[in-house]
Each structure stands twice: as structure tokens, then as C-alpha cells.
Structure 1
């Protein structure tokens, strides 16, 4: 009888040990957090059979013409490598929400081409991989420094830049000379001299700005030497004097303003670099100036696009090869020549390298290393406030003091008559 009890107890003990062993297999990974981070940064490629059968999945956020050009370059990649690529474009204004919603439920792409300012947010949310995990060289020594600032977070670079499309001032050189200004004015006294000359032009406008476009407002202030987020009293005074000489371009009226510039009715127009490249063809009297200091201090105003690899990537090596091809010197030349967007590689701006571009944009400050941090600039953090305040100031609906108070976050005091 005792022997039977021993066998019964032995069976219960064996079942208990088996159950305990199964329970341990269900616990979280006991490896260190650093080991787990390394594993997530270096995803294992799919099996050869899967890599051969399944294409790279790419999501882009482009307008129709840019998307068509990207497809053409992608076709070259497919022909040369045999690697298949499926590209889906989301041109909608809520593209960021659509993309993050797909990533949230594990249905994201292998690669995404998005606005560069999105990169930091995607990285902090854990949606993308550090660039060093799929690119052998991401130090960025050959990329314009402010562009890289937008792509850095937590000590790492999280995207591979493709282009930039900052606002520029397009000047009518002959019209400027006609009013007595021999060269495009720099900030300070030269701008004051231009404003004095403008007073004698009576009803003629000096500059055209796209109506309600905060990027154009910021570019104008930058060219005048005024910090949009923290202007001096002298800078605001100059803006006030300029107000009567501003023509606001309504939607669909850009061509009329452009014709006025070519006919010397206007002296300058603020527009994106890509638009200027398309409009400027064949007119040597039009010169471009880019407010470099403004963009060095506020990289987000450069409005570039960058590639990033999803943390859900299925074919990391193919994805890395595709990005390397799309950002190669050859592809960048095709992209810039067709779209008008400016390249981000410093070597493209060397005198013997830059001649192939359609517009002679001369960079100096932006090509130098930057000492700035990677945090968002003060202007970026209050961009919506600036957009509204600048519009009111430039249209004469607010004073310089009200503009400053708005940027400082001080509410307008109501009078007894309000």
C-alpha cells in the first residue's frame, strides 16, 4: 500500500515540474535592455526564398509630379537590380496620421519617404530604426549640417536626407538697378536704403508674397536680417515701412505676379526654390538669394524630405540598397533636375559640381558645421502663433507691439471700449 502511495506522489511531483517548466517559457526575455535594443536595431533578414518573392514596401508623401519622378527612378533600380519594389503614395494632408496608424497596428511599410521634420517624432515613438543599423556610413560629413539636425534624436541619426525646398527671394536685377540700387542689398543699412528708394515709387509694389504663407513671411524677415521669432525694434520698424510695398498673391495668381516681376513691375518675389527653378528658365536678369542664417537657426524651414526604415522592416538589406540607390549622386541629379528641389550633399555646391543645377544658389553659412543642438528651435515651437501674428503685422492689421506680445505669449489687454 505504501509503495502505491510513493508512485502516486512521484507522479504528482513530475506533473508539477513539467507545469513549472512550461510557465518559465512564457516569461519575458531576461536579456539586458541593451541587448534587446541591439536586437531591435538589427532585424534579421527574411529567408532567401521570402526575399526573392516579396517586394520592398514603400510609402511616400509626395505631390503627383514628384511621385511620378520617383517612380521613374525606381524603375531604373528595378531594372538594374531585379529587386521588386511596391510604392504607395499618400498625398493627403493627414498623411502623418495615416502612416502612424498603419505602423501602430503592425501594417507599416519597409521604407518611408516623409517630411524631414517628422523623423524625430517617428523615432521617439519607436516606429523607425537608427540609420546606422542599415547604412554603413551615416556620419553626415557630406550632408548640409542643419538638415542632419532634423534627423537626430537621442544621440542617433534616424533618417537619410533626400532634398530640401527652402523659400528664396527672386530678384529682378535690372529693376533694382533702375531705382538706384546697384546690387541686391544685404541686411541692415542696404535694406534701409532700398526702403527709402521704394518711397519714391509711389503706387508700385516692391515685393510679392503668397498670401497667408508663413514660410514666405519668415524668408522675407530672414533676408532683411530680422529674426522672425525674436525681432529687434529696428527690424519691426523696417517691416512696418515695407508694408505698403507688399503685394499678396492669392491662390492661382502666381503667374500674374511672375509676369509682373519679369516686366519690372515688381522687384522681388518670395517663393519656394523648386518653383523658382521652374519659373526662372531663360531669364538671366533674375537672381536668387537664400536667407542662410535664418535656415541655419531654424532647420525645419528648409522643408526637406528624408528616407527612413520602419522598425517592422521585412527585408532590411534590400531596403538599405534601395535607399542608397535613390540617394546616390546619379539619382540626386535626376531628382533635382526634374523637380527643382535642392540637393543636400555639400559636394553638389562646389563650383565644378553645381553647374548642372538649373539655378545658381550660392551657399556659405549652411555648408559650415553647426554648433546648434538638435532640439526644436524657438520659432518652430511657436510656429502657429508666428503664422497668425506675422500675417496680421504684414497686412497692417496689428502693430509691432502686438506682434511682439503675441510671440511672447502675452494676451492682448482689452480696453474699456471692447
Structure 2
């Protein structure tokens, strides 16, 4: 009997040890779903040496020409540092959903270059690291204040800004003089009213051209004329009606014809992205560029910038930060701006011309000042889809200025832009 008891006790001990050994390799059953989800978003490398040897994985959201330029600068980085970097581009309109789907299952990149307005959403979802956690420097703190607003959430900065490409107003100064207007019209100034009053004498010859159906271009034009796109006043509505009769719409693929019309003084003004305007001004220095600063200071998302962010899943955040620092260095910024035409975001370029390349073609004043108590989304940003639809109806002649305002107030007329 004693021998049977010994075997019985030995069997119990063996089962206990087996159960304990297995339990150390499993997530406890009482772990919350959120804890397990967090663990899956932050996979750990098998060893520090493995992470050190792995290439940096980068995802970008760029057009084809910008992607090629980024690859050229990246080759410089790999040549100078010996660090390997794999870059994959997501150019499609569903890039945000592709990126977040990969991040959700723990298959995200180390670094991402995305539209700056995406940063806050990525941060609040736990997908990226605060910039201060991987860079000991100012982490882009010298950038234009409005750009930094887009990258801030919960008291931290979550991205490193690269560039901006806002719509600018390109004026044909000599054509203005022939109309009796000596200087570039200022927002809500008398010259704008005088300019719009000249349209009647030109009959069917339009003065202003913007890309057809482009909400960003329309917002820039309204801002440049001193109107509030999201909440137009009665005076704005009167000016808006006069503005409409002056606008020619640039269809896709017809931009060169519009530039030719501006050069020949058939047009007075074009509303186009800064990158296009910078390239055109390099061959036609007589053009005058103006950026509606008040509009952009109140609506930073309209600056249309891109920013870098390091993923919370990064296997080696230090190497990732080194790559971001190289890509946003003064030398890389010069190459990027010269090739793409995008405007740089560092204040010092506009204040001191400390970078040794062509002076930016736009002057900034209001955007260089610190943002005072501004945070969160602007009224225009929260209404952007409503604004875009209302603007398209108005510009296509399917609604009046009054109906445009009613749509923004939540009382849209039952009519589609395709009618």
C-alpha cells in the first residue's frame, strides 16, 4: 500500500509541475481584451541584436514624383550611415485605412510619412509615439505654429513636420495696373471691391481662374478676399455673388492653358497649390504670390502638410529617429523643396534666410507668430464635407450665395451637384 501511495503522490506532483510550466507561456485568462490588444500592437524583438540588424520599415503616402525624390534622399542616408531602409508607398485614397489596418494587427511600419491632419487620430488610437520620446532635440519645435497645432494631442507633439503645400493666389501685377489698380488687393480691402467691379466691363472675359470643384482653392480665394468660408456675413454674400461672375474653372489637364492666359494678361489671378506656383514663378518672376495667412492661421489643416511619425510598434526607435532627423535636416529640406516646390515649415527660413537656397516666394507674418490658445479642429474643418458640397453647388451655378450659407448652417437645399 505504501508503494501505491508513493506512486499516487508522484503522479500528482508531476501533473502540477506540468501545469505550472505551461501557464508561464500563456496570457492569463483574466487579462482584459485591451491588454491583449496592446501586447499585439507592440511585438518585442527576439533579441536586441535581431532588431539592430533589421532594416527600418517606412510607409509613405506620396505621389509618384515625390516618392522618387524621397527614395533619392533615402539612398544618401543609407550610403552615409550604412543603415538599411525599406520604403513602401501607399498612394491611393484609402491609404489611411490600409495603414491603420496594418497597425491594428501589429504589422505596421517603424516610420510613416503621412498627411499632417492624420497625426492626431493616429496618436489618440495609440499607434504612434510622442516625438519627445525618441528625439532629444526640439523635435521640429522651430516649425510654423499652425503646422505644430496639427501634430499636438493630449499635451504632446506626435509628429515631425516635413513641408506644406497650401493654395496661394498668383497675381498678374501688370494686368492689375491696366485696370487702374496699383497694388495687390488686400483682404477685405477697397481694391478687391474695385477689382470685382471691373468684371462688367470685361463681358465674358473672366478675371480669376481656379481648379474646377476644388474646395481648397475656393476656400483660399474666399480667404484672400477677406470672406469667411465657414460662416459668411451678409457683406460676404454680396461679394461672393460678384466673385462668382469673375471665375473661370480650370478643368483637369488644362492648367498650362490657364498659366498662358495669366502670362498674356487675359487673366488677373490664379488660385493654385504653392508647389505649382513656385515652379511657374521660377520661369516668370513678374508674377506676384500671396498666401491668405489669416485663413490658414485659423484653419491649419488647409496648409496641406506632411509629417513623419514613429510607430509604437517600432523595433528600433533610435534608428527610426536617426532616419527622421536626416530626412528633415537642412540639407534634405533644401533638396526636397528645390525638387518638389513644396514650402518648408521652419520659421527661420522665412525670418533670416539661414538656408542657402532661393528665398521662399511668399512672405509670412501672421503664421510665424505663436498660436495663442488655439487647439482642436476649426469650424471649417468640422464642416469640411458640408462646405465642399455647398461650394461645388454654388460654383456650378446650382445654388445661390444665400443657399450656400444656408447649407453651411445645416439647412441645405435639396439638390445635388450632379443635377
Could you tell me which residue of structure 2 aligns to residue 87 of structure 1?
87
Residue 317 of structure 1 corresponds to 318
Contact residue 162 and residue 327 of structure 1 kept, 8 A: yes
Structure 1 residues 44, 329: CA separation in 2 closer, same or farther (over 3 Å shift)?
farther
Instruction: Specify the alignment match of 1:71 in structure 2.
Output: 71
Q: How many residues in Structure 1 have an aligned counterpart in Structure 2? A: 410
Provide closer, same or farther for how the CA distance between residues 205 and 46 of structure 1 changes in structure 2, counting only shifts above 3 A.
farther
**How far does residue 315 in structure 1 lie from its aligned partner after superposition?**
1.9
Any conservation in 2 of the 1:277–1:358 contact (CA below 8 Å)? no
Structure-2 separation of matches of 1:75 and 1:376: 37
Structure 2 vs 1, CA of residues 27 and 339 (structure 1 numbering), >3 Å: closer, same or farther? closer
Kindly indicate whether residue 217 of structure 2 is the aligned counterpart of residue 216 of structure 1: yes
Determine the structure 2 residue equivalent to 1:301. 302
Deviation at 1:317, TM superposition (A): 1.2
Counterpart in the other structure of 1:341: 342
Alpha-carbon separation, structure 1, partners of 2:275 and 2:120: 25
Shift in CA distance, 127/52, structure 1 to aligned 2, threshold 3 Å:
closer
Residue 54 of structure 1, CA deviation = 2.0
Distance 1:411 1:221, change over 3 A: closer
Q: CA deviation at 1:341?
A: 0.3
Deviations 1:122-151 (A, max 9, x none): 122222111112111346531111111111
Partner Cα separation in structure 2 for residue 365 and residue 90 of structure 1: 34
**Cα contact 1:134–1:316 (8 A) shared by 2:** yes
Task: Give the aligned partner of residue 391 of structure 2.
Answer: 390
Answer whether contact 1:172 1:285 (CA < 8 A) is retained.
yes
SS of 2:308's equivalent in the other structure is strand
Quote the offset at 1:412 in angstroms.
3.2
Structure 1 residues 28 and 232 mapped into 2: Cα distance closer, same or farther (>3 Å)? farther
The answer to whether the 8 Å contact 2:139/2:160 transfers is no
- After superposition, the Cα gap between the structure-2 partners of 1:308 and 1:39, relative to the gap in structure 1 and judged at 3 Å, is same
Q: Distance in 1 between matches of 2:213 and 2:162?
A: 27
Paired residues for 1:86-105 under 5 Å: 86-105=86-105
Counterpart Cα distance in 2 of 1:103 and 1:39: 12
Is the 2:140–2:160 Cα contact (8 Å) retained in structure 1? no
Kindly state the Cα deviation for residue 102 of structure 1 after the two structures are TM-superposed.
1.9
Question: Map of 1:29-48 to 2, 5 A cutoff?
Answer: 47=47
The answer to whether structure 1 residue 231 and structure 2 residue 232 are counterparts is yes
Q: Give per-residue Cα distances to partners, 1:312-341, cap 9 Å, x unaligned.
A: 111211111000000011111110011000
Describe the superposition over 1:388-418 as per-residue Cα deviations: whole angstroms up to 9, x where unpaired: 111222333212221111111124379xxxx
5+ long unaligned stretches in structure 1: none
In 1, Cα distance between the equivalents of 2:357 and 2:145? Answer: 22
What is the Cα deviation at residue 358 of structure 1? 6.0
**Structure 2 length-normalised TM:** 0.89
Question: How far off is 1:55 after superposition?
Answer: 1.1
The yes-or-no answer on 1:158 pairing with 2:158 is: yes
1:279 match? 280
Aligned CA distance change for structure 1 residues 195 and 55 (closer, same or farther; 3 Å) = same
Give 1:101 shift.
2.0
Q: Report the Cα offset of residue 12 of structure 1.
A: 7.5
Report the RMSD for the aligned CA atoms in angstroms: 2.9
d(CA) in 1 for partners of 2:356, 2:225:
28
**Partner SS state of residue 231, structure 2:** coil
- Specify whether residues 313 and 413 from structure 1 end up closer, same or farther in structure 2 by C-alpha distance, changes over 3 A only: closer
Contact between 2:208 and 2:247, CA under 8 Å: does it hold in 1? yes
* Match in the other structure for 1:251: 252
Partner-residue secondary structure (3-state), 1:269:
strand
Counterpart mapping for 1:6-25 below 5 A: 14=13, 18=17, 21=20, 25=24
Contact 1:45 1:315 in 2 (8 A): no
Counterpart for residue 202 of structure 2: 201
Residues 145-184 of structure 1 correspond to what in structure 2 (within 5 A)?
145-184=145-184
1:349 Cα deviation from its structure 2 partner? 0.6
Residue aligned with 2:332, SS:
helix
Asked if 2 retains the 8 angstrom alpha-carbon contact of 1:173 and 1:183, the reply is: yes
**Alpha-carbon offset, residue 374 of structure 1:** 2.9
Contact 1:180 / 1:197 at 8 angstroms: preserved in 2? no
SS of 1:350's equivalent in the other structure is helix
Distance (Å, rounded) in 1 between the aligned partners of 2:281 and 2:159: 32
Tell me, yes or no, if the aligned pair for 2:41 and 2:105 is still in contact at 8 Å.
no
Residue 360 of structure 1 and its aligned partner are, at CA, apart by 1.9
Deviates more, 1:129-138 or 1:339-348: 129-138
Question: Aligned partners of 2:241 and 2:330: how far apart in 1?
Answer: 45
SS of match in other structure, 1:113? strand
C-alpha distance in 2 between matches for 1:61 and 1:358: 28
Q: Secondary structure at the match of 2:313?
A: coil
SS in 2 for 1:247: strand
Question: Equivalents in 2 of 1:359, 1:347: separation in Å?
Answer: 11
TM, length-normalised to structure 1: 0.89
Post-superposition shift, 1:352? 3.2
Structure 2 equivalent of residue 261 of structure 1: 262
**Does the Cα contact within 8 Å between 1:40 and 1:311 map onto a contact in 2?**
no
Give how far 1:69 is off. 0.8
